[in-house]
Structure 1
Amino acid sequence: MEVPLLVTDFLDRARKYYGDEEAIVATTGERFTYEEFGDRADRLSAALQERGIEKGDRIAVLDPNTHYHLEAAYGIMQLGAIHAPLNYRLTPDDYEYMLTDAGVKAIYADYEYAEKIEAIREEVPTETFITNDADAVEGDWEEFDELLEGVEPEYERPEMSEDEIITINYTSGTTGDPKGVCRTHRTEALHAQLVTIHHEITDDDVYLWTLPMFHVNGWGHIYAITGMGAKHVCTRGVDPEGIFTNIAEEDVSFLCCAPTVLSMLGEYYEDHDIATEGDNPMRVTAAGAASPEAVIEMVEEEFGWHFRHLYGATETGPLISTSSTRRLIDEDSDERFSLKKRQGIAPLGTVVDVVDEDGEVVPWDDETIGEVVVKGNQVMEGYWEKPEETEEAFSGRRDGWFHTGDLAVVNAEGMLSIQDRDKDIIISGGENISSIELEDTLFDHDAVGDVAVIPSPSEKWGETPKAFVVPANGDPENPPVSAEELTKFTRERLAGYKVVRRVEFVDELPKTATGKIQKFELREEEWEDEDRLVGEG
């Protein structure tokens, strides 16, 4: 029997079997059962339907990890409308592009970030503006809770197909404008099932939201935690004291984060006498740049948590591989930390290969480098209204497979280890930063004659952007602008996490005979004291 895979099934199941169980611990101190969670989602669906929202319309959500984000996501998707979560660390110009590109008809924005939308309100096609504290926001915004109070929890749910797009996640492109990654009911549902299996999620889990919900729908946890009837503990960002307090008081059992968050927790732990667990044993999954072995050792030996690493991309849901391989890692071995920081092996229903220039699988010798390519049910449908970019993503060394642009080696057990990147992307503290975007911004400064931006090793962030600048006057000893001024220049134009914090003035950049900048030479020199050309942290 074939049953369509729909994202609405996750909340439907939780309401049916766990209706009286606690579903959400809100940042406001409120607590909601699954029936209450579902009722609020229904009321939002009804309110949106009253405002003309129909199946296929794009609705944006700009919110940290609060209960409003979860309610908005399901309230949108129950209408067959397309949920478009936005990174809350971006600039108004970024939002103007995304809201226009996706033709967003309505937006819910948290009061702390709504001003960024208000600034570009007249430039976008959006008609309905909702926030969770209208009194704190300039302009004409509707109040989320008042919206719910003004309607009955009754709406018309349309027929939906598993192959229809249900969410768009914007990712920073290595060139050009951001791209909207289109994901269907089917890709989201199957990815969430993989997450449930490989993260060993059960109905008695208590999940702490430190990973942003906008990051590929919180790596699928808005579905997986909900569908299993487990508990969401919401937050408003990363606060080490708050994380440890929540873990102890709410008996948290699981969290996901970037490696840099674990480093922050370690620094706080060293200076404070604080519990690292409640009544439940803790496990944590980190993704982004590989975690340093010292951090993994701290998490397991000092905190007493079970650590695993995840590797992925927005285009793949993100799960491509995981080091959650208990039979391949001897927990009593001295090598366990070096193995756990590897990107690991593919999950069920997924084929991951590391291939050479001819598309052939490289030997599992932990030495031969190839590109990571992937096929799986969790891989995206394509980029929103960008057919050429979509075709390019599935072309190259092996046509029909998604090409990650990451270069890796494989050990004898088949576990990946990323060594370098074949694309102009920097991963800093779990956030993707386009080198091209930074270069374009710096080129706008009159004192910059030429520039190349590469990732530079960072103990805190894993990687941080570094600009090699040829000054317009050609004199790196006496440039007409300081490094601090260029940092300020990027800060005024880009999201804070994209700022160029390191600048080196040079008289020329290494180039090929045809004038193409050879960033590889810059990277090799910058990373000569490291054992790979990508960051840890």
Structure 2
Amino acid sequence: MEFPLTVRDFLDRAVTVYPDRVAVVDEPDQPAPPFGGGELTYAQLDQLARNQAANLDRLEVPVGGRVAIISQNSARMLTSFFGVSGWGRVLVPVNFRLSVAEVEYIIEHSGSEVVMIDPELQPLIENITAKHVFVLGRDDEQIWGATGADPVPWAGDERATATINYTSGTTARPKGVQLTHRNNWLNATVFALHASVTDRDVYLHTLPMFHANGWGMPYGITGLGGKHIVLRKVDGAEILRRVEKYGVTFMCAAPAVVTAALDAARDWDGPIPGRDTTRIVVAGAPPPTRVIERVREELGWEFIQIYGLTETAPLLTMSRMRAEWDDLDASEQAKKLGRAGAPALGVRIKIDETGEVLAQSNHNLDAYWDNPGATGEAQAQNWFHTGDGGTFEDGYLTIADRKKDVIISGGENVSSIEVEDAIISHPAVREAAVIGIPDEKWGEMVTALVVVETEVSEEELIAHCRTRLAGYKLPKKVEFRDELARTATGKLQKFKLRQPYWEGKSKQVN
């Protein structure tokens, strides 16, 4: 017997086992019913998902039709993961921090015939010509109102596209990543297994739900009957308040969110909430060793790191404390946790002859939407080509750099990540990005762009790095900045940081 794996399985189990349990606590200032900014049980969440599917039937949106949502984290968005994909349509969660032109491109490129948008974000779609445009809150009756009919049954096809998730655009124009029901089902299940998710977990949505489907937690937490706590806007102090108020045990976050929580902890009055009970999963960029130590010492939270991409749904590897490291000192433990991690169940990792990390798994993308050329290139030889350089030793992957971010200085390869880790270990430094800029002597000069918390000189930072790095890896130049360009999910946009230095050059290598 074979039964198709579909994302509706997660909600079906929750409503069967935990119908009266609180499923989600929405932001208190969200618009009126059926959501109303309060609590929804799993029975209510299931009914709203069914109403949404029935309304898409009424609008004659076919199986396979694309439905876009542009919203901050909300109970409405959480419901849409099931109400749209659960009956065979394709959800397109759009990064609400993109420009008007980028949002227009995604809506047009995906062919979305329904667009749902938060009222605060309406200016993003002034020129959108989608067939149906609904404003969340204002038009809820047309999306989630009872139709008097059950949704048209969908037999289920695990190889059908469930979501199209557009890449964050760190290097070029966003590509639409087609993730199937099978991709999303297996990612959520394997992730939940490795992260020890249970029905006692209270999950805080610090991660945008649009980003790789909130890394799959809208599915995984739901299937295991956990409680979702919606966080609309990231704020370090508010994260700590939610952890205290709701007993949050679990969250996923980009490194910038971790920094915000650490900053807030300095001014927190009383014991830090969640100490010894909360775990945080970090991804998006390898966090500096000092940050890992601070999370474990200052917050008292368990630190877990994963590595993956939107194209891999995203889980490829996980780095989590293990018994063999218990007797190591905290600094050595942090260094081990700073690796990308060991392959998750069902994932195969190898490094090719150029040093690129390749991966095989059951949750790698099906294809890039309407882009067969990019699909073939990314999946050559039946391996997904990550574009990252790294090493794989003793069962653990370490990311050296994006291949295009490796700096070739004086004929030697320099990992920007390694240099960043050295700079950020200085207590005065808050953030750092290391790039190569054209230089007649070195070819590319190792250059550090730094945001500081307290005053420090260029000479002091270089001297500090000299105690941790080989001479050829040292930054030759340090520039101080007020902020660094990042994507909505906290990734450094090094192509933007490099751009002014390479203007007029025919290629980004010297």
Question: CA 1:264 to 1:158, structure 2 compared with 1: closer, same or farther past 3 Å?
Answer: same
Map 1:10-409 → 2, pairs under 5 A: 10-28=10-28, 29-118=37-126, 120-122=127-129, 126-134=130-138, 143-145=139-141, 147-152=143-148, 154-172=150-168, 177-277=173-273, 281-330=277-326, 332-334=328-330, 335-357=332-354, 370-395=355-380, 399-409=381-391
The Cα of 1:275 is off from its aligned counterpart by 4.2
The Cα of 1:96 is off from its aligned counterpart by 1.3
Between the aligned partners of 1:386 and 1:127, the Cα distance in structure 2 is 24
Question: CA 1:518 to 1:503, structure 2 compared with 1: closer, same or farther past 3 Å?
Answer: closer
Between the aligned partners of 2:52 and 2:504, the Cα distance in structure 1 is 57
Between the aligned partners of 2:289 and 2:229, the Cα distance in structure 1 is 28
Contact 1:108 1:130 in 2 (8 A): yes
TM-score by length of 1: 0.75
Contact 2:275 2:299 in 1 (8 A): no
CA distances 1:454-473 after superposition (whole Å, capped 9, x unpaired): 9995855554889879xxxx
Q: Considering only aligned residues, what root-mean-square deviation do their CA atoms show, in Å? A: 3.1
Between the aligned partners of 1:507 and 1:346, the Cα distance in structure 2 is 39
Question: CA 1:387 to 1:338, structure 2 compared with 1: closer, same or farther past 3 Å?
Answer: same
Contact 2:356 2:385 in 1 (8 A): yes
Between the aligned partners of 2:39 and 2:69, the Cα distance in structure 1 is 22
Question: CA 1:394 to 1:249, structure 2 compared with 1: closer, same or farther past 3 Å?
Answer: same
Contact 2:274 2:301 in 1 (8 A): no
Between the aligned partners of 1:406 and 1:501, the Cα distance in structure 2 is 19
Identical pairs, percent: 35
The Cα of 1:67 is off from its aligned counterpart by 0.3
Between the aligned partners of 1:464 and 1:92, the Cα distance in structure 2 is 30
Contact 1:174 1:424 in 2 (8 A): no
Contact 1:187 1:378 in 2 (8 A): yes
Map 1:442-521 → 2, pairs under 5 A: 460=430, 463=433, 500=496, 516-518=507-509
Contact 1:250 1:278 in 2 (8 A): no
The Cα of 1:327 is off from its aligned counterpart by 3.5
Question: CA 1:401 to 1:34, structure 2 compared with 1: closer, same or farther past 3 Å?
Answer: same
Between the aligned partners of 1:225 and 1:496, the Cα distance in structure 2 is 25
The Cα of 1:177 is off from its aligned counterpart by 3.3
CA distances 1:464-496 after superposition (whole Å, capped 9, x unpaired): 889879xxxxxxxxxxxxxxxxx9xx99xxx99
* Unaligned stretches of 5+ residues in structure 1: 135-142, 358-369, 427-453, 470-486, 510-514, 520-537
Contact 2:55 2:142 in 1 (8 A): no
Contact 1:253 1:280 in 2 (8 A): no
- Correspondence for 1:414: 395
Question: CA 1:12 to 1:146, structure 2 compared with 1: closer, same or farther past 3 Å?
Answer: same
Between the aligned partners of 1:98 and 1:193, the Cα distance in structure 2 is 29
The Cα of 1:414 is off from its aligned counterpart by 2.2
Contact 1:59 1:83 in 2 (8 A): yes
Question: CA 1:420 to 1:55, structure 2 compared with 1: closer, same or farther past 3 Å?
Answer: same
CA distances 1:61-99 after superposition (whole Å, capped 9, x unpaired): 111111010112211112200011011110111111111
The Cα of 1:60 is off from its aligned counterpart by 0.5
Give the SS at the match of 1:15.
Answer: helix
Give the SS at the match of 1:113.
Answer: helix
* Unaligned stretches of 5+ residues in structure 2: 29-36, 408-415, 440-481
Between the aligned partners of 1:507 and 1:117, the Cα distance in structure 2 is 32
The Cα of 1:151 is off from its aligned counterpart by 2.5
Contact 1:344 1:416 in 2 (8 A): yes
Contact 1:210 1:257 in 2 (8 A): yes
Question: CA 1:463 to 1:52, structure 2 compared with 1: closer, same or farther past 3 Å?
Answer: farther
Question: How many matched pairs?
Answer: 438
- Amino acid in structure 2 at the alignment position of 1:422: K
Between the aligned partners of 2:503 and 2:189, the Cα distance in structure 1 is 53
The Cα of 1:176 is off from its aligned counterpart by 5.5
Question: CA 1:173 to 1:303, structure 2 compared with 1: closer, same or farther past 3 Å?
Answer: closer
The Cα of 1:147 is off from its aligned counterpart by 4.1
Contact 1:23 1:37 in 2 (8 A): yes
Between the aligned partners of 1:345 and 1:508, the Cα distance in structure 2 is 42
The Cα of 1:35 is off from its aligned counterpart by 0.3
- Amino acid in structure 2 at the alignment position of 1:244: L
The Cα of 1:40 is off from its aligned counterpart by 1.1
User: Following superposition, which runs of at least 4 residues in structure 1 exceed 6 angstroms of deviation?
Assistant: 464-469
The Cα of 1:242 is off from its aligned counterpart by 1.2
Between the aligned partners of 1:106 and 1:371, the Cα distance in structure 2 is 39
- Amino acid in structure 2 at the alignment position of 1:342: R
Between the aligned partners of 2:171 and 2:503, the Cα distance in structure 1 is 26
Between the aligned partners of 2:235 and 2:12, the Cα distance in structure 1 is 32
Question: CA 1:339 to 1:496, structure 2 compared with 1: closer, same or farther past 3 Å?
Answer: closer
The Cα of 1:194 is off from its aligned counterpart by 0.7
Question: CA 1:218 to 1:303, structure 2 compared with 1: closer, same or farther past 3 Å?
Answer: same
Contact 2:274 2:300 in 1 (8 A): no
The Cα of 1:298 is off from its aligned counterpart by 1.5
Contact 1:27 1:235 in 2 (8 A): yes
TM-score by length of 2: 0.79
